[in-house]
A and B are shown apart, each in its own frame.
Chain A
Amino acid sequence: MNYLGRRLVRAVLLLIGVSALCFLFTEMAPGSFFDEMRLNPQISPEMIAALRSHYGLDQPLLVRYGRWMKSALHADLGYSIAYNTPVAPLLWSRAKNTLLLTTTALLLTWMISVPLGVWAANRRGGLLDKAVNLASSFLVSVPELVIAVALLAIAVRWRILRVGGMMSADYEDLSALAKLQDVLLHLALPAFVLVLCETAVIVRHVRASVLEVLGAPYVQAARGFGISRARLLFRHVLPVAANPAVSLLGFSLAGLLSGSLLVEVVCGWPGLGPLILEATLSRDLYLVIGGIMFSALFMVGGNLVADIMLLALDPRIRKGAADAH
């Protein structure tokens, strides 16, 4: 368990580092939420100063950071000035939707890219391999924004999927099954955009790591023993090739979350993305910091899941963990 313990400590340190970084950036910020009020002649400067001190914005950096840490430990993550509530519950109500979108996209991505990558590596230089290579290198280089806008245009134009928001206007009147169907139809477009972008990245890595393992001597030996191709691939090659691919999961999560922010805004999915954007535009600092912290939390959580999976998949790491004791 030493391995996981070390990872956990690392994760906590990372989160603390991110929050410290955020506060350092706020210190650089010349403006604040109350800047717009300053232009209003009906609000006196004293009033603004009072508001600033009410929200603790006039305190020095370290005091603010200490206060924020305390509120983070109470699972509040500070106070949103625009919404006038603690940040965490506000973010959590949106984060659920982001999680729904990203986990769906993540699962689909892996379900598609693992078989596709193995297949492409198996038939190296074949038609499918070439097609996968071409499509993935194209999709990797096209910015996500363009993919999102283009697919949105197609979906709206031919009325294929439901776009805008997460539910139709008459959602409340629908039966349970129809509700599920409605959400799924709304989910399809943003999830598809994300799957398309992510699959392009991951399929290449899966292919590359399978190819590397296929060249190993033990695979040749196994082939010599007459083990069938399918068994060879899925029983002998894939578990070994899984290690680099699973390590990639953590990195792919960062891309997925960024992509999800973008796609949420473009498709109107009520996740963290639109909320953060709105907070950015209105300079609601603690909400922005909270959003960054949530995204960092997801990243760290995803990395931990990847670590646990690695522990289960790769005996070398288990062995190493035992040795370290």
Chain B
Amino acid sequence: MRTRTAILVVLLAGLHLVLLFAGFFAPYDPTTQNRELPYAPPTRVHFKDSVGFHLRPFVYVWTSGLGGDQSDSYQGSYQEDRSHEYPVQFFVSGPSYKFLGIYEMGTHLFGVAEPGKVLLFGTDGYGRDELSRVLVGGQISVAAGITATFIALLAGSILGVIAGYYGRWIDESLMGITELFLSLPWLYFLLGVRAFLPLHLSTIRTFFLLTGVIGLIGWARPARLVRGVVLSARNRNYVLASRGFGGSDFYLLRRHILPETFGVLLTQAALLVPRYIAAEVTLSFFGLGVNEPVPSWGNMLSTLQQYGVLVSYGWLLAPACALVVTSVIYSSLADVFHSRLKSYST
């Protein structure tokens, strides 16, 4: 159990580090288009050529065989141009990006000399590097999930504490409202709330709007859970004793009651982050979230709504795979937290 938790935490930390330093791990700028390379399949990484085995991997460039065979689909029309090898280099300088959103930097983990291109996940319809887009898009999607979770948990725990601690009519009316929020299918609700807000905005504003909306809808469940914990903690003997000694409401909450909610909040966080990432992805998939050209996993997937693209260019499912990996790690962690919480409370 402990090793499993450790592995999960390491995986999670790794994932977030890669996304945090997406600009460094991505070989290209996510918005740079290569109009001559639309829907290029993933570049194959070679070790062997006619000479023999090389320790340093190398790639060939894709040449489009279009025009020759007159087919109107790009599929299978790319061939490797074997005349020149481009060895993969590490810590190369390339297009500049903002390191941690502050420093202008140009160093990338790997890359090849121009005009070679290393496109590990292929390219999309505009010839943009899919790997770079998955990384930078993941930054936005995961950050949206975490921010929305933060908002939902903050609102939920404040209201839950108020309801649980002060009880009576406050409790009753707040819990009535949570029932309202919980009884609606969240996606209908999300679309509804989104419908009332402006459609085209700058990326930053869209981001905060989205996370705000998702968090606003999601506060109800954490509020109920926190209320339950507070309700049971409020009447513990040591809390009553502390109150008897003259502890103020604020002191009791801070010293004795809030620490009890920590486990529930942690479990909820691990549970909600992947759900809210999925919510952002869904909204962007519908065209209601982050807009092009800024990548997010959702708007990258939305090109797959065309059946032709979906069938022919399988590598464009990369954001979906990244989403699955993220979700599975988070929810396994939530399982671990949950079973721990249960073993504590019994």
Q: When the two chains form their complex, are residues B196 and A145 in contact, meaning their CB atoms are under 8 A apart?
A: no
Interface residues of B in 289-337 (CB under 8 A from A): 301, 304-305, 307, 310-311, 314, 317, 320, 323-324, 327-328, 330-332, 335
Question: A143-B278, A145-B278 in contact; A156/B307 too (CB < 8 A)?
Answer: yes
Q: When the two chains form their complex, are residues A258 and B327 in contact, meaning their CB atoms are under 8 A apart?
A: no
Q: How far is the CA of A281 from the CA of B331 in the complex (A)?
A: 32
Q: How far is the CA of A280 from the CA of B323 in the complex (A)?
A: 25
With beta carbons under 8 angstroms apart, the residue of B194, B314, B324 that contacts A142 is B324
Residue in B197, B287, B304, B310 whose Cβ sees the most chain A Cβ within 10 Å: B310
Question: A254-B185, A296-B183 in contact; A141/B191 too (CB < 8 A)?
Answer: no
Q: When the two chains form their complex, are residues B320 and A18 in contact, meaning their CB atoms are under 8 A apart?
A: no
Q: How far is the CA of A30 from the CA of B287 in the complex (A)?
A: 19
| Cβ contacts under 8 Å, B262 to chain A | none
Question: A143-B323, A152-B310, A291-B192 in contact; A283/B199 too (CB < 8 A)?
Answer: yes
- Say if the beta carbon of A295 comes within 8 Å of chain B: yes
Q: When the two chains form their complex, are residues B286 and A265 in contact, meaning their CB atoms are under 8 A apart?
A: yes
With beta carbons under 8 angstroms apart, the residue of B179, B189, B282, B323 that contacts A262 is B282
Q: When the two chains form their complex, are residues A141 and B274 in contact, meaning their CB atoms are under 8 A apart?
A: yes
| Cβ contacts under 8 Å, B197 to chain A | 28-31
Q: Is the interface of A mostly helix, strand, loop or mixed?
A: helix
Interface size class of B (residues with CB under 8 A): 35 or more
Q: In the complex, what's the smallest C-beta–C-beta distance from B120 to chain A, in angstroms?
A: 20
Q: In the complex, what's the smallest C-beta–C-beta distance from A8 to chain B, in angstroms?
A: 15
Q: How far is the CA of A191 from the CA of B286 in the complex (A)?
A: 20
Q: Is the interface of B mostly helix, strand, loop or mixed?
A: helix
- Say if the beta carbon of B193 comes within 8 Å of chain A: yes
Q: In the complex, what's the smallest C-beta–C-beta distance from A51 to chain B, in angstroms?
A: 19
Q: When the two chains form their complex, are residues B332 and A153 in contact, meaning their CB atoms are under 8 A apart?
A: no
Interface size class of A (residues with CB under 8 A): 35 or more
Question: A25-B193, A156-B307, A156-B310 in contact; A145/B285 too (CB < 8 A)?
Answer: yes
Q: When the two chains form their complex, are residues B196 and A28 in contact, meaning their CB atoms are under 8 A apart?
A: yes
- Say if the beta carbon of A14 comes within 8 Å of chain B: yes
Give 1 or 0 for each of B152-184: 1 = CB within 8 Å of chain A CB. Answer: 000000000000000000000000110110111
| Cβ contacts under 8 Å, A266 to chain B | 305
Q: How far is the CA of A288 from the CA of B187 in the complex (A)?
A: 12
Residue of A nearest to B298 (CB): A145
Interface residues of A in 272-306 (CB under 8 A from B): 276-277, 279-281, 283, 285, 288-289, 291-292, 295-296, 299-300, 303
Give 1 or 0 for each of B266-284: 1 = CB within 8 Å of chain A CB. Answer: 0000000010011001100
Q: How far is the CA of A265 from the CA of B301 in the complex (A)?
A: 13
Q: When the two chains form their complex, are residues A280 and B285 in contact, meaning their CB atoms are under 8 A apart?
A: no
| Cβ contacts under 8 Å, A291 to chain B | 188, 191-192
Q: When the two chains form their complex, are residues B320 and A149 in contact, meaning their CB atoms are under 8 A apart?
A: yes
Which residues of B approach A to under 8 Å, CB–CB? Answer: 176-177, 179-180, 182-189, 191-199, 274, 277-278, 281-282, 285-288, 301, 304-305, 307, 310-311, 314, 317, 320, 323-324, 327-328, 330-332, 335
**Additional pairs, 12, CB under 8 Å, beyond known A141-B274, A149-B301, A288-B192:** A29-B196, A29-B197, A137-B335, A142-B324, A143-B282, A145-B320, A146-B320, A253-B185, A288-B196, A292-B189, A295-B185, A296-B183
11 contacts between A and B (CB under 8 A): A14-B179, A18-B183, A21-B180, A143-B282, A145-B301, A152-B310, A164-B307, A255-B185, A280-B191, A288-B191, A299-B185
- Across the A-B interface, the 4 shortest Cβ-Cβ residue pairs: A29-B196, A141-B331, A258-B187, A143-B278
